[in-house]
C-alpha cells in the first residue's frame, strides 16, 4: 500500500487521513476508529486518532515508543509530555506547566500548592515565566539546532488511553542520543531528532 502523501504543514491532517484509511479498512476495527475520531474532534479540536490495538504498546523508554530515539529536552526530563500545540505539560498530572516546571493557570501565572497564584516574598503575584514549545524552542536552544519541526506522529494504546507519539524532526544526521538518526515519520529530508508524546485521554 502506498504510504499516504504527507502534507508539509500540520501533522493533524496526516493523522486524519491515516485514521480514515484505517477506519475504512475491512481488516481494522472501524468502529473504534470512528468513535475515536469523533471523540477527539469534540475534545481535542483538530487532532484525529488512528484506530489502535486495544492492548498496551511495547515501550522503549516510554509506553508506545517502540524505537530508540530519546525524548526531547523538557522541564521534567526524561519525559517530554506536550499538549496538542507542543507546549509542556506535567508528565503525571497532564496539567500545563511553564518552563520552570511550575503548574500554571490559563493566563500563565504559576500556582502554589493551594491552586492560588504564587506570590513572592513581597506578597505580590510572581510574574509569569516563559512557556515555550518543546520541539521548536527547547530543543533548539539546548541542542543548538535551528531547523527543528514537529512532523510525523503515530498512535498507541498506553495505560488504557490513546497516546500520540510525536517526532521532532531535523536535517541533522545525529539524533539526541548522539548516534545516527532515523527517518521515522519525518519527511522532506528531515529525520527524527527526539520524540515527545501527547496523551489524548481517549479510552482504548
With CB under 8 A as the contact rule, the residue among 4, 95, 142, 159 that binds another protein is 142
Contacts of residue 182, defined as CB under 8 A and 6 or more positions apart, other chains included, come to 67, 69, 175, 191, 192
With CB under 8 A as the contact rule, the residue among 4, 54, 108, 159 that binds another protein is 108
What's the min distance (Å) between Cβ of 104 and another protein? Answer: 10
The nearer residue to another protein, 84 or 131, going by C-beta atoms, is: 131
Judged by CB under 8 A, the stretch of 19-27, 60-68, 71-79, 165-173 that binds another protein is 71-79
What's the min distance (Å) between Cβ of 135 and another protein? Answer: 12
Q: Does 111 participate in binding another protein (rule CB under 8 A)?
A: no
Q: Does 75 participate in binding another protein (rule CB under 8 A)?
A: yes
What's the min distance (Å) between Cβ of 117 and another protein? Answer: 12
Contacts of residue 126, defined as CB under 8 A and 6 or more positions apart, other chains included, come to 109, 110, 117, 118, 119, 120
What's the min distance (Å) between Cβ of 88 and another protein? Answer: 9
The nearer residue to another protein, 38 or 142, going by C-beta atoms, is: 142
Q: Give the C-alpha separation, 44 to 20, whole Å.
A: 17
Judged by CB under 8 A, the stretch of 22-30, 48-56, 120-128, 161-169 that binds another protein is 120-128
Contacts of residue 100, defined as CB under 8 A and 6 or more positions apart, other chains included, come to 75, 110, 129
Query: What pairing do the DSSP bridges indicate for beta strands 161-170 and 191-203?
Result: antiparallel
Judged by CB under 8 A, the stretch of 44-52, 63-71, 133-141, 159-167 that binds another protein is 133-141
Q: Does 137 participate in binding another protein (rule CB under 8 A)?
A: yes
The residues that touch another protein, with contacts defined as CB under 8 A, are 73-76, 99-102, 108, 112-113, 118-123, 127-132, 137-138, 140-142
Amino acid at each position: 500500500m502506498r504510504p499516504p502523501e504527507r502534507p508539509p504543514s500540520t501533522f493533524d491532517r496526516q493523522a486524519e487521513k491515516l485514521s480514515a484509511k484505517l477506519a475504512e479498512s475491512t481488516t481494522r476495527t472501524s468502529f473504534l476508529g470512528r468513535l475515536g475520531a469523533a471523540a477527539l474532534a469534540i475534545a481535542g479540536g483538530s487532532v484525529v486518532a488512528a484506530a489502535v490495538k486495544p492492548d498496551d504498546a511495547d515501550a522503549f523508554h516510554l509506553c508506545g515508543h517502540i524505537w530508540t530515539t530519546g525524548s526531547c529536552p523538557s522541564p521534567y526530563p526524561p519525559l517530554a509530555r506536550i499538549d496538542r500545540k507542543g507546549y509542556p505539560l506535567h508528565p503525571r498530572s497532564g496539567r500545563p506547566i511553564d518552563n520552570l516546571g511550575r503548574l500554571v493557570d490559563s493566563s500563565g501565572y504559576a500556582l502554589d500548592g493551594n491552586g492560588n497564584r504564587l506570590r513572592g516574598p513581597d506578597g505580590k503575584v510572581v510574574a509569569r515565566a516563559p512557556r515555550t514549545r518543546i520541539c521548536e524552542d527547547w530543543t533548539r536552544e539546548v541542542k543548538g539546532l535551528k531547523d527543528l519541526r514537529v512532523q510525523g506522529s503515530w498512535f498507541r494504546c498506553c495505560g488504557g488511553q490513546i497516546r500520540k507519539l510525536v517526532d521532532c524532526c531535523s536535517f541533522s544526521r545525529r539524533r539526541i542520543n548522539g548516534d545516527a538518526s532515523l527517518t521515522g515519520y519525518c519527511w522532506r529530508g528531515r529525520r527524527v531528532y527526539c520524540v515527545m508524546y501527547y496523551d489524548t485521554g481517549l479510552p482504548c
